[in-house]
Structure 1
């Protein structure tokens, strides 16, 4: 008899956690498991990559009303005489407006959002909140399941959350999964009384799929000019990714006379700020925001150098993908960088400032032998993690 699994996720828009979930679902044995997926938002570039066997649950009408723009939402709720829900919608908007920390606001705003969501009717063998905060809170508060699992994709201490809020939910989980050795260490230190529940499952990446998609474009997607060095970064346009340092590093390289074009795949709340910074530094021909790409692998394949300027990460899927495509990689020295990159062997680690980023890129540009050696070393690594699905099966199968 098949086991019933539920996964909960905010959306399948661009992001490492979202891609990680799609990769995981693509590896599940649907002969053994029935899989439902609850999304708070049914839009996103990864929706098209969901396996057909996954059943996406419909959103309740109360949540659809709650999720409308503020004025329209309150007006319709009042018209329907749903005054308690209208009050919660107003408080949700007010708390967001005065927020100084998006992470903490999402935690303490959960009680208002939760008022628009009922407990799911179906009972599951296992429910998985696949992202920290609301996904895990929904899993605990709104799902009937024999076993509940929460996933943390980030260095917990760098996300700015209030652990006093999360401990109430972690206590009700059977397992807490995270994605790297450093993230595991941080969680066990932050929540020592929950350390027996904490497991590590690497993000699932498939070299076969990535290489197939990388080869879909047989031409250089960048249309580069002669001797131009193409740099690529991938990530949400968010403070975490440190892209303002990328712009400043690009400016240093251009001022030194290097013919570079730095491309970023991603979108997010920092778009306007970064676009202004690019224009302010006169980098319109050297630094480009490409937006989202459902298939970024051709862009990785045709880049000369992959750069990750993050201030913190859990375990970056984009770095793993660049490794699979044997790109010379430069990363900043965030807390989990050494979980993925061995400096001088399969990548280059630099300090977290524009000057050091620029100097590191300059070294890779000038030393072609170094770039070739990094790529060669990557080509000899075993980089697929499809077998990580077995760790999930083990957690699901435990009683």
Structure 2
């Protein structure tokens, strides 16, 4: 008889964790597992990539009403004589609004959102919360499962959360999974009494699939002008990704007289600010915000350099994919950078400032011998991580 699994994730909008889940589901053995998927939002770039064997669970009606615009939500609850839910909807907005940290706001507002979600009726052999915060809280409180697993996809100390709040939920999990050795060390230092639960499962990437998808863009996706170097970054437009460093570095590259274009694939709350920075620096012809791309791989294949200017990462799936497509890589020296590339061999790790980023890019452009050696080295590596799913199977028992 098949084991019943539940995966939980906020949505399948663009992001590394979302792509990682899609990759995992794509190779999951559906002959052994019956899979449900719970999301708090049914919109997103990767919705169309959910395998047909996965059953997407409908959202509870009370939750649908809870997440409506506050005036409509509160009035509907009051009309239905559900004063507690109306109050909780107001408090949910208030806690998120007054918090000076998005993560703390999500933690403090969870109990108000939770009131609009009943405990699930179905019992599962395992429930897997595939992202930190709300997914884990939901898994701990709202799901009946023999085993409960929570995933942390980032350097926990950089997420800005209250660890005392999370400890209460981590204690209810059987396993805590993270995506790199350094992330695992960070969790063990932060939660020493949970260290026996902590496991490392690397993001699943398939070279075969990535290479096939990269061939789908046969035209020049960048509209390259003359001999300019094409730089590419992929990530949510969020302060975590440090894209303002890229904009500042572009000003320096322009002053050096380098011909280039820097393209950024992604969307997010920083779009307006980045657009204003680009305009103020007169870089409209050099920096392009391309928005979301369901298939970014033709862009990676056709780029000359892949760059990641992040402040922190868990294990960036975009960097792994750039390695598979044999691109010279530049990344900033975030805490898990050495888990991602070998400095000077697979790419360059530079300090987290615009000057270092610009000098690193200049080095990759002007020293073609080093760039070529990096590409050739990457082409010889076995970079697929499909076997990582066996670690999950082991946890499932």
- TM-score range relative to shorter protein: over 0.9
Query: 1:212-227 alignment to 2 at 5 Å?
Result: 212-227=212-227
The equivalent residue for 1:240 is 240
The equivalent residue for 2:37 is 37
Cα deviation digits, residues 23-70 of structure 1 (max 9, x gap): 111110000000000000000000111100000000000000001111
| TM-score for the superposition, normalised by structure 1 | 0.99
The equivalent residue for 2:206 is 206
Q: CA separation in 2, counterparts of 1:72 and 1:260?
A: 49
The equivalent residue for 1:256 is 256
Q: CA separation in 1, counterparts of 2:21 and 2:370?
A: 35
The equivalent residue for 1:379 is 379
The equivalent residue for 1:90 is 90
* Residue 78 of structure 1 pairs with residue 81 of structure 2: no
Q: CA separation in 1, counterparts of 2:135 and 2:97?
A: 22
Q: Secondary structure at the match of 1:109?
A: helix
Shift of 1:255: 1.4
* Residue 24 of structure 1 pairs with residue 24 of structure 2: yes
Q: Which runs of 4+ in 1 moved over 6 A?
A: none
Query: 1:48-63 alignment to 2 at 5 Å?
Result: 48-63=48-63
Shift of 1:304: 0.5
Q: Secondary structure at the match of 2:116?
A: coil
Cα deviation digits, residues 66-89 of structure 1 (max 9, x gap): 011111111211111111001000
The equivalent residue for 2:331 is 331
Shift of 1:97: 1.3
| TM-score for the superposition, normalised by structure 2 | 0.99
Shift of 1:278: 0.2
Shift of 1:222: 0.7
Shift of 1:332: 0.2
The equivalent residue for 2:64 is 64
The equivalent residue for 2:125 is 125
Q: How many residues align?
A: 397
The equivalent residue for 1:306 is 306
Q: CA separation in 1, counterparts of 2:173 and 2:48?
A: 31
The equivalent residue for 1:154 is 154
Q: CA separation in 2, counterparts of 1:299 and 1:61?
A: 40
Q: CA separation in 1, counterparts of 2:58 and 2:237?
A: 29
Shift of 1:95: 1.2
